[in-house]
Amino acid sequence: MIRRVFLLYFICCFLCVYTIAAGQFTADLVILNGKIRTLDDKSPVVEAAAVKDGKIAATGSTAVIRKLAGAKTKMIDAGGKLVLPGFNDSHVHFLGIGSAFFSVDLRRAGSLEHLLSKIKFNARFIPEGQWILGSGWNSKSWKNDDLPRRESLDTAAPGNPVLLYSDDYRLAVANSAALKLAGYDKPSKIIKNGVIERNADGSPTGILRGDAIAYLRALGPKLADKQELEALETATNYAASLGVTSVHDVHSDDITPLMTELEKSGKLKTRVYDCISLTKWKELNDAGIAAASGSPMIRRGCLKHFSDGDPEVIPDLLAMMIPADKAGLQIAVHAIGPRANNVVLELLDQIIKRNGSRDRRFRVEHAHNFSSVDGRRFSALRAIASMQPHLFGGGEPYRSLLQSNTRLAFGSDASITDLDPLLGIHAAVNSGAERSISVEDAVRAYTLGSAYAEYQENVKGSISIGKLADLVILSDDIFVVPNSKIREARVLTTILDGKIVYEAK
Ligand SMILES: [Zn+2]
C-alpha cells in the first residue's frame, strides 16, 4: 500500500515538472491583445500574459498565450490597450484616504447634479451601511433653486445613510436609509422644535429642520468614533479603482492588525508595507521583525521619523537609529527644505560610519527642495529619494537624481493630495525641459522604484515571469498621447494576485 502511494506520488511529481517544463500548464487568467509594457528588459513589450497561482507564468504573443487557456481560465481581451505593472505608491496615509470619504465638503457644489455626483462617487467605495455626512450646500446659489430630496439621494447612495447639512445648519436633507433609522418614515413621528417635511401622502421629502436634524445626527457616528476598519476598506477599494496595487503606509500608526482583519474578511485589495514610528523600533525588534517582514499582502519592518532640520536633535535620533539599523530595520525620514534634507543625509552618513555599509535602503521621504550639494550625496550614500511629484507640482530635479543613479520611489502623500498615480507621472513628465523625466522612467519610479524601496523588486514591479500578478489596464497609452494628456487616462481594469479587483463600468 505504502509503496503504491509513493509510486503515485512520483508519477504526479514527474507529470507536474514535465508539463511546466513543456509550458503546458493551464492558466488561471490570460490577458490577450494588449500592449503590455513589462518593464522587463528581456521582452519590454508583449501582447499577452498568462497568470497561474497569482504569479506571471508566461508572456508572449496572443497566439501562444491563448493556448494556455482552459475551460476555467479567465480571459481578458485588452483590445490593444496599455497594460502596466500595478502602481506602487511609496508614501500614503491609508487611514486618512478612507475616512475622507465619510464626510463630504459641499461648499463648492454648484448645482444639485454636482452635489449628487459627489455623493455617488463616495458611495462607490465605502462599505454598505457606513454613514455619509456632508455640509455646506446652498441651493440659493444654484441656477434653479431645487432643494435636494430623499429620492435623488437614494439613487446616489442607496446602501448608506446620508445626512447633508446646508451651509446654515438649520436645514438639512437625508436619504431613506437615514430617515428610517430615526423612524421618520412613519407619518406619526414628530420631533419637538423640529420639522420633518412631508409629502401629501405623509412620506418624508428628506428635508429636515431644527431639532429633527439633531435627533437624526445623534444616531450616526460620534466624532470620537474612529471607524478605522471601514476607512481602510474604503481606502483599499479606492486604491483598486486607480490601479494602485501596493502602498507604503508612512503614517506612524500601526495598521497591521486592522489590515490583517481586512485580509481575513477577503476585502483587502492592496498590498501594504506598514511603517511605524521610529520610537517603537524596539517593539519590532523584540518581535523578531526586520525590514520587509511578513506576507506578500502585509509587511512591516519600516520606521518613520520626521526631521524639521534642527541639527541639535541629531544625537537623540542617532541613539535610536543606530541600534534600529543594526537590528536590520529600515529607516525612512521626512525631509522638506535644504536644512531638513541636510540633517537627514547627515544622519545616514553617521549610521554608515557606525554600522558599516549594508543593503539598508535608507529612505528620504519627500526629498523636497534640497541643496545642489546635497543632491549629489543621495547616490553616494545610496539614499532612496521617496518623492511625490504631484504634491509639489512637479519641477523637482528628477532627471539629475536619475542621472546620478539615485533610486527614485514615487508616491502621492494621499490623503493630503489625491491617490491617483497618473497625476504624479503627469507632474514628473511635465516638469520643464531640464528636469522632466521620460514616461518610462516615471512609471518605473511608481512601480519598480517603489518596490525597491520596500525590498520587493524581485517580487513585483515588472511583468516578469515568477513575479506577483499585479497589473493595470489603462484607457489611453500614456507612452503615446501628448505629455499634457497623461493625467486624462483612466483605469479600466486592476488585477491583484491574478484576480480582478476593479473594473470600470
Ligand atoms: Zn506624508
Same domain, 347 and 380: yes
Residue 491 lies in a domain: no
What average pLDDT score do residues 59-65 get? 98
Residue 15 has pLDDT above 50, yes or no: no
**234 and 213 part of one domain:** no
Q: Which of 85-89, 253-257, 326-330, 417-421 has the lowest mean pLDDT?
A: 253-257
Q: Which residues hold their Cβ within 5 A of ligand 1, which is an ion?
A: 413
Kindly give the distance from the C-alpha atom of residue 105 to the centroid of ligand 1, in angstroms, as a whole number.
22
Q: Inform me whether the pLDDT recorded for 4 exceeds 70.
A: no
Do 296 and 399 belong to one domain? yes
Q: How far is the CA of 216 from the centre of ligand 1 (A)?
A: 35
| Residue-level pLDDT at 19 | 41
C-alpha cell at 289: 521583525
Q: Up-side HSE of residue 288: CA atoms within 13 Å toward CB?
A: 1
Cell numbers at residue 473, please? 489596464
Q: Residue 107 domain-assigned?
A: yes
Mean pLDDT of 209-215: 97
The model's pTM is: 0.93
Cα 245-249-251 angle, rounded to 5 deg: 160
Q: Are residues 250 and 381 in the same domain?
A: yes
pLDDT in tens, 252-305: 889 999 999 999 999 999 999 999 999 999 999 999 999 999 999 999 999 999
Cα dihedral value 303, 126, 86, 31, nearest 10: 150
Compute the distance between CA of residue 284 and CA of residue 282 in angstroms, rounded to an integer: 5
- Ligand 1 center–CA 334 separation, angstroms: 8
CA of 92 to the centre of ligand 1 (A): 6
Do 213 and 239 belong to one domain? no
Q: Are 242 and 200 in a shared domain?
A: no
Task: For residue 93, report the distance from its CA to the centre of ligand 1, in Å.
Answer: 6
- CATH code for the domain in which residue 145 is found: 3.10.310.70
What are the C-alpha distances in Å from 402 to residues 106, 324, 397, 405, 408? 42, 29, 9, 5, 7
Q: What is the pLDDT of residues 381-434, one digit of tens each?
A: 999 999 999 999 999 999 999 999 999 999 999 999 999 999 999 999 999 989
Q: What is the CATH number of the domain that holds 60?
A: 2.30.40.10
Number of domains in the chain: 3
Confidence band, pLDDT 50/70/90 cuts, at residue 23 = low
**Is residue 501 in a domain?**
no
Residue 180 is assigned to a structural domain of this protein: yes
Predicted confidence band of residue 317 (pLDDT cuts 50, 70, 90): very high
Strands 27-32 and 48-52, sheet pairing: antiparallel
Instruction: Say if residue 454 is in the same domain as residue 328.
Output: yes
Ligand 1 centroid to residue 17 C-alpha, Å: 47
Range of the domain at 425: 228-460
Tell which residue, 248, 258, 247, 302, has the closest CA to residue 276. 302
Q: Please state, in angstroms and rounded to a whole number, the distance separating the CA atoms of residues 60 and 250.
A: 37
> For residue 224, what pLDDT is reported?
72
Give Cα separations from 16 to 24, 29, 56, 415 (angstroms).
10, 19, 18, 47
Is 138 in the same domain as 73?
no
User: What ranges make up the beta strands (E) of 41-130?
Assistant: 45-46, 48-52, 55-60, 69-77, 82-85, 87-92, 103-105
pLDDT at 327 over 80: yes
pLDDT for residue 21 is more than 50: no
Between 114 and 24, whose confidence is greater? Answer: 114
Ligand 1 geometric centre to CA of 81 (Å): 33
pLDDT of residue 498: 98
Residues 148 and 278 in one domain: no
